Amino acid sequence: KILILDFGSQFTQLIARRVRELNIYCEIHPFNKIPEIDDSFKGIILSGSPYSVRQEDALHFDFARYHGQLPILAVCYGAQYVAHFNGGEVLPSSTREYGRAHLHYIEKANPLFKQIYPGSQVWMSHGDTIASIADNFEVIASTDSVRVAAYQISGTHTYGIQFHPEVTHSIDGRQLLENFLVDICGCSQDWTSDSFIETTIAELREKLGNDKVVLGLSGGVDSSVAAVLLHQAIGKNLHCIFVDNGLLRKDEYQSVLDSYQHMGLNIKGIDAKQRFYDALAGISDPEKKRKAIGRVFIEVFDDAAHEVQDVKWLGQGTIYPDVIESLSVKGPSATIKSHHNVGGLPDFMKLKVVEPLNTLFKDEVRRVGKALNIDDNILGRHPFPGPGLAIRILGEVTPEKVAILQEADAIYINNLRAAGLYDKVWQAGTIYLPVQSVGVMGDERTYENVVCLRAVESLDGMTADWCHLPYDVLAKISNEIINNVKGINRVVYDISSKPPATIEWE
Ligand code: XMP
């Protein structure tokens, strides 16, 4: 495997994904919490950083300790760091060093540039540049404005590059990474969904033995894939719990429960709608709603888990970005909304935690899910927030509003599917606004509520753009909702991006 040392760059996760796309396993660790280097590590990649090596508080690590021990590829800040603290000089760069550039010189026989030829386009993004390098460093590639675009410490397997091979604008970035990983580090490209499933199931069996595990399913991709892996490892010793909180989409509880049963999971469905509605009565503050839902979920889940005799473990669908976030150089990022994901660990349950997906990115979880033959109906689902429709009903939640929103939402989603748009949209949902407006139905004046349609494109939910849905589809949805959903006489479409808006309204 490959060790990626994170100095806080926004591109670090992208480096990891590129390495894994080459079927090579890698782990990201903060530059100041480096794990013990054993034989399983074949090379190190140093990431970029928002810091400058010239700053007083530049991020330091013990380069000398690793140089020569394993091949090193230092990217951007990493490259500047190694150059600067080994006899070279780093200075502020001119604006010409942003964006696209071309490597007009490449050292012909250098293994890092195998099958990469002069003229290759690369992507630069740095505020500093390497002005000079020590005598034992050798320039192995240059652009018109950057002489030291890439270097090698002579006679060693330490390389530095000032451009970003992980972004697609660096046309030969993938080739460069493959050259480093396969030819220089000697990694084999055998990390695939199938190999992941095989080793994970073996590890789970070893770890869990004959112990029982409880796991809260949410209908989402992560908890479903985690459940199927655990199920394949320990069969009936996995006890799944699926809670109907009364805040799911129309008919979702039954259809998801059916899918899970069909997959052979040992699952218990719990109708707790009323407990959630009772807890939400009179609350209109979004964070208080989330807290109430989180609390009731834990109570319901805990009751159900206690019915399983001698349970020792809590299974969770935690994925790698959550783990990285909690370990990150900058610390967990500021909480804008508290996200109570279904299955949050109730401390008092005193269970050990097992998280079979905590080394995978979201797209890898989907691929593993596919390899496990999980239904497309579950794998292809839009993300759906744990507190569900409660945060799509602005203001107080009542069962009546939930019923109205479920109807409107079902019309919206069915139309997206019928128009072939569902899979093109990253997330869609309907929001019930606490606003009444005047309308006319036949000869009657109406005074009813407004629903808002939301559809966004996104990669990971961190940023998002509103979808330009075709007008005719919007028109059809609006007509159907207004004609069929009693209580709604107006439909609007949300055209805000994130940031500055968020995807949900609460
Ligand atoms: P925002 O609204 O913050 O949403 O732009 C980003 C993503 O997170 C989901 N979301 C939640 N998920 N519990 C969850 O499990 C929550 O409380 C919650 N709030 C927002 C949202 O649906 C989107 O995918």
- Write the pLDDT tens digit of every residue in 10-40: 889 999 999 999 999 999 999 999 999 999 9
327 vs 174 pLDDT, higher one: 174
Closest CA to 156 of 18, 64, 38, 29: 64
Domain identity same for 158 and 69: yes
Concerning whether 76 is annotated as a catalytic residue, the answer is yes
User: If you take atom 16 of ligand 1, which residue's CA is the nearest one?
Assistant: 339
Ligand 1 atom closest to the CA of 290, numbered from 1: 17
Concerning whether 126 is annotated as a catalytic residue, the answer is no
| pLDDT at position 320 over 70 | yes
Ligand 1 atom closest to the CA of 383, numbered from 1: 24
Q: What is the mean pLDDT of residues 46-51?
A: 93
CA-CA-CA-CA torsion for 131, 134, 137, 142, nearest 10 degrees? 20
Q: Flag whether 97 is in a domain.
A: yes
Domain identity same for 37 and 59: yes
| Residues 411-462: tens digit of each pLDDT | 999 999 999 999 999 999 999 999 999 999 888 999 999 999 999 999 888 8
Cis? peptide before 385, omega within 30° of 0: no
Domain identity same for 340 and 404: no
Domain identity same for 369 and 403: no
The predicted structure's pLDDT at residue 330: 60
- Alpha carbons within 13 A on the beta-carbon side of 463: 1
Q: What is the mean pLDDT of residues 43-72?
A: 94
Ligand 1 centroid–CA 141 distance in Å is: 44
Q: Which residues pair with 502 in a beta bridge?
A: none
Single residue among 184, 210, 234 that ends a domain in this structure: 184
Q: What is the mean pLDDT of residues 494-506?
A: 96
Q: Which residues pair with 490 in a beta bridge?
A: 450
The predicted structure's pLDDT at residue 322: 83
Concerning whether 457 is annotated as a catalytic residue, the answer is no
424: CATH: 3.30.300.10
| pLDDT at position 334 over 50 | no
Domain identity same for 173 and 207: no
| Residues 112-142: tens digit of each pLDDT | 999 999 999 999 887 899 999 999 999 999 9
42-46, 197-201, 441-445, 450-454: least confidently modelled range: 441-445
18: CATH: 3.40.50.880
Q: What Rg value do the Cα atoms of the chain yield, rounded?
A: 26
**How far lies 267's CA from each of 307, 308, 343, in Å?**
13, 12, 15
- Alpha carbons within 13 A on the beta-carbon side of 254: 2
Single residue among 346, 379, 412 that ends a domain in this structure: 379
Q: Flag whether 430 is in a domain.
A: yes
Q: Which residues pair with 214 in a beta bridge?
A: 239, 314
Q: Flag whether 499 is in a domain.
A: no
Domain identity same for 458 and 345: no
Ligand 1 atom closest to the CA of 338, numbered from 1: 17
Q: What count of other Cβ atoms lies within 10 Å of the Cβ of residue 38?
A: 6
Q: Which of 126, 157, 164, 239 is catalytic?
A: 164
| Residues 220-261: tens digit of each pLDDT | 999 999 999 999 999 999 999 999 999 999 999 999 999 999
- What's the total number of domains in the chain? 3
Pocket of ligand 1 (CB under 6 A): 290, 337, 339-341, 383, 385-387, 427, 461, 498, 502-504
Ligand 1 centroid–CA 461 distance in Å is: 8
* 219 known member of a binding site: yes
CA-CA-CA-CA torsion for 113, 116, 118, 124, nearest 10 degrees? -80
* 224 known member of a binding site: yes
Given pLDDT bands bounded at 50, 70 and 90, which one contains residue 332? very low
Domain identity same for 114 and 177: yes
Q: What is the mean pLDDT of residues 156-185?
A: 96
- Alpha carbons within 13 A on the beta-carbon side of 482: 21
The one-letter code for the residue type at 140 is I
* Boundaries of domain holding 178: 2-184
Q: Flag whether 139 is in a domain.
A: yes
Q: Flag whether 394 is in a domain.
A: no
For the chain, percent helix, then strand, then coil, each to nearest 5? Answer: 35, 25, 40
| pLDDT at position 210 over 90 | yes
Q: Which of 166, 178, 407, 448 is catalytic?
A: 166
The predicted structure's pLDDT at residue 108: 92
- Alpha carbons within 13 A on the beta-carbon side of 248: 21
Ligand 1 centroid–CA 502 distance in Å is: 9
Q: Flag whether 207 is in a domain.
A: yes
Strand ranges (DSSP E) for 14-134?
Answer: 26-30, 43-46, 72-75, 89-92, 99-103, 105-106, 120-124, 128-132
* 94 known member of a binding site: no
Q: Which of 26, 76, 187, 452 is catalytic?
A: 76
CA 387, 393, 397, 403 dihedral sign is negative
Task: Using DSSP, state whether 40 is helix, strand or coil.
Answer: coil
Domain identity same for 80 and 207: no
| pLDDT at position 333 over 50 | no
Q: Judge whether 1 and 27 are in contact, CB under 8 Å.
A: yes
Cα separation, 354 vs 357, in Å, equals: 9
* 218 known member of a binding site: yes
Question: At residue 445, what are phi and psi to the nearest 5 degrees?
Answer: -80, 135
What whole-number percentage of the chain has pLDDT above 90? Answer: 87
Q: Judge whether 341 and 219 are in contact, CB under 8 Å.
A: no
Domain identity same for 31 and 54: yes
Pocket test for ligand 1, best of 217, 245, 389, 504 (most atoms within 8 A of CB): 504
* 40 known member of a binding site: no
Q: Flag whether 500 is in a domain.
A: no
The predicted structure's pLDDT at residue 336: 47
Domain identity same for 170 and 208: no
Cα separation, 295 vs 289, in Å, equals: 10
Q: Flag whether 392 is in a domain.
A: no
| Mean pLDDT over each residue of the chain, to the nearest integer | 93
User: If you take atom 20 of ligand 1, which residue's CA is the nearest one?
Assistant: 385
203: CATH: 3.40.50.620
* 223 known member of a binding site: yes
ipTM over 0.95: yes
Pocket test for ligand 1, best of 503, 505, 506 (most atoms within 8 A of CB): 503
| pLDDT at position 348 over 70 | no
Task: Using DSSP, state whether 105 is helix, strand or coil.
Answer: strand
Ligand 1 centroid–CA 247 distance in Å is: 14
This prediction's pTM = 0.85
Q: Judge whether 32 and 6 are in contact, CB under 8 Å.
A: no
* 220 known member of a binding site: yes
In sequence order, which ranges of 310-398 are alpha helices (DSSP H)? 320-327, 362-371, 376-379
Task: Using DSSP, state whether 142 is helix, strand or coil.
Answer: strand
Single residue among 137, 163, 184 that ends a domain in this structure: 184
Ligand 1 atom closest to the CA of 336, numbered from 1: 3
Domain identity same for 277 and 335: yes
Domain identity same for 356 and 463: no
| pLDDT at position 152 over 70 | yes
